[in-house]
Amino acid sequence: MSLLARIKTPADVRRLTHRQVASLAAEIREFLVQSVSRTGGHLGPNLGVVELTIAIHRVFESPRDTIVFDTGHQAYVHKLLTGRQDFSDLRKRGGMSGYPSRAESDHDVVENSHASTALSWADGIAKANQVRGLDDRHVVAVIGDGALTGGMAWEALNNIAAGRDRRLVIVVNDNGRSYAPTIGGLAHHLDVLRTTQGYETVLSWGKRTLHRSGPPGRFAYEALHGLKKGIKDVVAPQGMFEDLGLKYVGPVDGHDAPAVERALARAKAFGGPVLVHVMTEKGRGYTPAEQDVADRFHAVGKIHPETGLPLAPSRFGWTSVFADEIVRIGRRRPDVVAITAAMLAPVGLAPFAKEFPERTFDVGIAEQHAATSAAGMAFAGLHPVVAVYATFLNRAFDQVLMDVALHRAGVTFVLDRAGLTGDDGASHNGMWDLAMLRGVPGLRLAAPRDEPTLREALRAAVDIDDAPSVVRYPKGAVNDPITAIDEIDGVDVLARHEPEGAEHSVLVVGVGAMATTALETGELLAAHRLRVTVVDPRWVLPVPAALTKLVGQHDHVVTLEDGVADGGIGSAVAQRAQEAGLRTTVQPVGVPLAFLDHASRDQLVTTLRLTPQDVARDVLTWFDERS
């Protein structure tokens, strides 16, 4: 039996010899490559934390000691060491989550996979342990150097440092990357720590020199003390952390398991907040990932385990359309600049950055700063385009509201992976943006349905200079083009059905990528002798006056959106209709107000009854109940 197969709990890990630990690390890497290549998932980050995670479980006693992973996508090794070794259904419905999950294990604590939150969690848990008198328990927060660029992490550090007697260990997993190379002043600071000889080494040399020259007198000790004080700021920039009140240990080679164990044991024995700086290599031990310069192995689909190449090529996607169009806009508009939050390539800004490096700003994992910095750029005469995943705009809502909208700043937010994304689970579904942004005065939001409307929406958005504009689109392959048969004051008419003998009429409104579902729903309703008009407003916020007028021309309206239905676009249409004195019933169809477990998008659509068949059936039921 392999060593890994014998690991059922962390206690089994603690019983291993150092030689066995090295063998276990090799087995885990082989397991990860073979398993994740079959299912897809976060491969690179987990290959980089094998020895680190083993060491944490050898020094600390989970779940008595609490281990919190920032972001959590690097917790696969933690899962293996806590008895979860069936990865056959990783990130699939009913299978293992790609992030820590309380439903899976008592060893998992934080499920929210948004970055820069772990230190606040750890601070709260450590404070609770102190209040409850649980002084023999430790809290370990594992955070990457990329996540340390988030402002919330520094708010937490400021508070952690105040608790001098709280047993809290911060492990900085420093691989110089998040999705992409870590940027900013902190990255430079950590780089100095990585490349500078530690001052303890210089002091050891000084002590040996004094010893060889005879018994040292007071002057020699004073000189040694002066040497220590003088060189510390030069060769040990960890003073930044120690000045905050945090004991600093490191830097430590994160792939030297005994060295990591020793560092963690020192931190554990200190009895107060300690920062352990561990240097790791993302993708360690897997040649394709080690040689990659584009972070393709941060998260992968199904790949060939030997080559790392995808088993099936990806179809041309929404992100690729944006990537191409924003470069075209940049060539035409020298005032357009691009901002991203540590996701230059995933959101499609890499081509823009290559052509316009001086007009591209990666702010790190700092969406709040991105939004407010964009407002400043707009004030100073530029038109910023802030590209983020839809789920991450949640973190910057106050800045969109108070810094951008209140100041009528011309900032365009491009939301990738809007709607149901599926596999990454509750925290990554971009389903909140429509309902959330509906409450921002003056904001204009476009939901394109295909490639031509996405390009058109982007061009229109960057021409808005007196309010925030938003363009949102889903994850994956772009829909086939849908040509409008008519256009009414900005509202595209996609289809009209006039079956003979129809007594009632239905307006079907498809928001963005739901336009295809709207068309299929319209055909099903027409087959039941209903007069049907299918429309796509394209710009859904504010609700177009032409759409409200169309509502009044039909007996019933059904709106389809891949965002939260409560307070979403359908609710906005219903409110506008009521304010206009219309008696037409509006039936909003969308995502329920709930956190959704990981599953494929198609599975979620079926479960949530968002298929054309389900929508048509519900509309027909509404008419039957009133006949």
Binding residues for thiamine diphosphate: 73, 113-115, 146-147, 175, 286, 367
CA distance 204 to 474: 58
List 58, 284, 296, 395, catalytic entry: 395
Name the helix (H) or strand (E) containing 453.
helix 451-461
The arrangement of strands across the sheet holding 539-541 comes to 360-362, 336-340, 383-389, 412-416, 469-472, 444-446, 539-541
Q: Name which of 592, 587, 594 is nearest 618 in CA terms.
A: 587
Other C-beta atoms lying within 10 Å of the C-beta of residue 625 = 7
List 282, 296, 417, 438, catalytic entry: 282
Binding residues for Mg(2+): 145, 175
Q: Residue 378: which region, alpha, beta or left (left: phi > 0; alpha: psi -120 to 50)? A: alpha
> Strand, helix or coil at 519?
helix
Other C-beta atoms lying within 10 Å of the C-beta of residue 611 = 16
What are residue 300's DSSP bridge partners? 41
Q: Name which of 91, 29, 28, 104 is nearest 63 in CA terms.
A: 104
> Strand, helix or coil at 271?
coil
Q: Name which of 130, 155, 126, 151 is nearest 141 in CA terms.
A: 126
Name the helix (H) or strand (E) containing 14.
helix 10-14
Q: Outline where 360-446 has alpha helix (H).
A: 367-379, 390-393, 397-399, 433-437
Dihedral pair phi/psi, residue 161, rounded to 5°? -65, -25
**For residues 55 and 261, is the Cβ–Cβ distance under 8 A?**
yes
531-536 and 539-541 beta bridge pairing: unpaired
531-536 and 491-497 beta bridge pairing: antiparallel
**For residues 534 and 519, is the Cβ–Cβ distance under 8 A?**
yes
Whether residue 367 lies in the annotated active site: yes
CA distance 454 to 71: 31
Whether residue 127 lies in the annotated active site: no
Distance, CA of 341 to chain centre: 10
Amino acid at 154: W
List 51, 261, 325, 367, catalytic entry: 367
CA distance 236 to 567: 53
CA distance 143 to 75: 11
Catalytic residues: 282, 367, 395
